[in-house]
């Protein structure tokens, strides 16, 4: 289950733009939605990207503290 990250915790994270670049390197396409969330106690950026390759929607999670990719999931 994911939750929004409170504003006070946003100061120790990488900029969204850096996380977006990391996500688009893995799944080339168009970002339909982005959100800063908390998943399993960890601050993450969640990007919903419509992939150029096949048009499928994918959820890409990037660690908000390090900017490192966490997971990619194909959405239905």
Q: Which residues span the domain enclosing 50?
A: 2-74
- pLDDT: which is higher, 11 or 28: 28
Distance CA 11, CA 32 (A): 25
CATH of the domain at 42: 3.10.450.40
Confidence grade of residue 40 (pLDDT, cut at 50, 70, 90): confident
Task: Report the pLDDT value the prediction gives residue 12, as an integer from 0 to 100.
Answer: 87
Distance CA 16, CA 14 (A): 6
Q: What is the mean pLDDT of the chain?
A: 90
Number of domains in the chain: 1
Model pTM? 0.83
């Amino acid at each position: 289950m994911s939750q929004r990250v409170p504003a006070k915790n946003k100061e120790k994270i990488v900029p969204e733009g850096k996380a977006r670049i990391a996500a688009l390197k893995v799944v080339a396409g168009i970002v339909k939605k982005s959100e800063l969330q908390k998943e399993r106690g960890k601050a993450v950026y969640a990007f919903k990207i419509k992939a150029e390759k096949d048009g499928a929607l994918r959820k890409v999670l990037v660690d908000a503290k390090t900017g490192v990719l966490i997971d990619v999931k194909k959405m239905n």
